[in-house]
Structures are given as C-alpha cells and as structure tokens.
Amino acid sequence: MTDAGTGTFWEHLEALRWVIVRSLAVVVAFAVVAFFLKDWLFAVVLAPRTSDFVTFRLLSVEPFSVHLMNTGLTEQFMTHIRVSVYAGMLCAAPYIVFELFRFISPGLYANERKAGLWVGVSGCVMFFIGTLLNYLLIFPLTVRFLGTYQVSADVENMLTLQSYIDTLLSMSLVIGIIFELPVVCAILGRMGLISSSLMSRYRRHAIVAILVVAAIITPTTDIFTLCIVSLPIWLLYELSIWLVRIEN
C-alpha cells in the first residue's frame, strides 16, 4: 500500500495478512537460531541461580546455588522450545514494530506518523530495558530468596526446571509491561486525560502503590531488596510526570 486512500477492504486485509506472515517468519527464524544455540541460551537463562552471577558478585553475596531437577519425560525438550520461542519473539520485536508501523503509516498525517514512530520505538526500548533489569536484578534476588528459603533444615528445596523458567518468563513480561508506564502516560497526557499536576498531587499514593507492587514482585524480607526494586519503578513515575508535562 502506497496510499491510504486507495485499495479496497480486502486489499488492506491482504496487506495485513502479509505483515503477520512476515513477522511470524522472522520470529520463527530467530527461534530456530536460539534453539540451535542451546548451550549459550541456557547458560544465560540459568546463570542467576548461583552466586557466580554478575549481580551477586557486585553485591558480595554469600555463596549459594539453587539446584534444578526435571520430573517429566518431555519437560526439558518442551522447555527448550518455549525459551527459544520467547527469545525469538524478543529478538523479532523491533522488526514486528517496524512492520506494523509501515502498515498503518500511509493512513496517518505527518505529525501522527512522527508520534506513532516515537511510541513504537520508545515502547520497544522500554520493554527491553525492563526485561534486562528483571534479568540482572529482580529475578536473581527473587531466585536467591525463594530458592534458598526453608521453613526447616529438614526440608530440602527441590525446584523444577519448569518452575524456574515459568517464573523467569512471567516476571520478564510483567516488568517489561511496567516499564511501558512512561509511554502510556505520555499518550494519555497528549490526549488530555491526565496532567502532570494530577500525577504530582497523587505522588504519595503512587509511592505506596509502587512499594506494594515491588513487594509482590520480590517477596523478600529485607528492606534493601525492596528499595532496589522500588527505585527504578519510582523513577519511571517521575519520568512519566516529566513527559506528561511536556505533552501538555
């Protein structure tokens, strides 16, 4: 499509179909590459379970290691596929955003195209930052606490590979979505639905909500970990106020 004003509904639908096909093809291609790089992929994925991980070395954490086990005949193979697909989707995200923007841009005005490009690029970047923060900080602290926590010395932890991977993927998704806060607030500010003064007025309420969210994400008992997790989310809120002030 070179002109949003031309073409029938079915031609637009056909163009969308090819956008989806090309996006899926890129996801599959990255997933296949990740699948065959199994040793490197799982060296990265499983690194946060020991005190040798970079974050724990920087924090001078006491030596520990969380041991994982497999309980199902097909569990390791299916986990390999799941992690490969997620890695493929993560790597293909910029291309998918590009394809979607190229599809809708002919029907937008110049200022709308500029805004749409900003939303797509910034949203993708913020999701990557959130995922990276989760991998380097939030998830390792969670694994260390929950993986070594014992109600009694007589009860030994035996964590499954599936539980570890499920927690990593779900937390990566949640933190990635949380990091979209500045983008969402900027859009709402541009639409006039929120204002910087309103967000500043409810800053104390937001801080309490941030502490609650941080406590849920990292169910640890020490205040240090809670502050480490809460700080970036609070900074996101402050960044959101600044962006809304600019948009208004």
- Per-residue pLDDT for the chain (248 aa), expressed as one digit of tens each? 444 446 677 777 888 889 999 999 999 999 999 999 999 999 999 999 999 999 999 988 889 889 999 988 899 999 999 999 999 999 999 999 999 888 888 877 888 788 888 888 999 999 999 999 999 988 998 888 888 888 888 888 888 999 999 989 988 998 999 999 999 988 888 888 888 888 888 888 988 998 888 887 766 666 767 777 888 889 999 999 988 888 66
Question: 134: which DSSP letter?
Answer: I
Q: Phi-psi bin for 7: left (phi > 0), alpha (psi -120 to 50), beta?
A: left
Q: What's the gap between Cα 20 and its chain centre?
A: 22
**CA 229/CA 110 separation, integer angstroms:** 39
Give the angle 51-213-165 at the CA atoms, nearest 5°.
Answer: 45
Residue-level pLDDT at 12: 77
Give the chain's length.
Answer: 248
pTM score of the predicted model: 0.85
* Short-list 184, 164, 202, CA closest to 50: 164
* Short-list 234, 236, 235, 241, CA closest to 188: 241
Cα torsion 65, 40, 170, 226: sign? positive
Q: Which two tokens stand for residue 27?
A: 């996801």
Contacts of 217 (CB under 8 A, 6+ apart): 138, 142, 171, 174, 175, 229
SS3 label, residue 77: helix
* Short-list 76, 198, 184, 69, CA closest to 123: 184
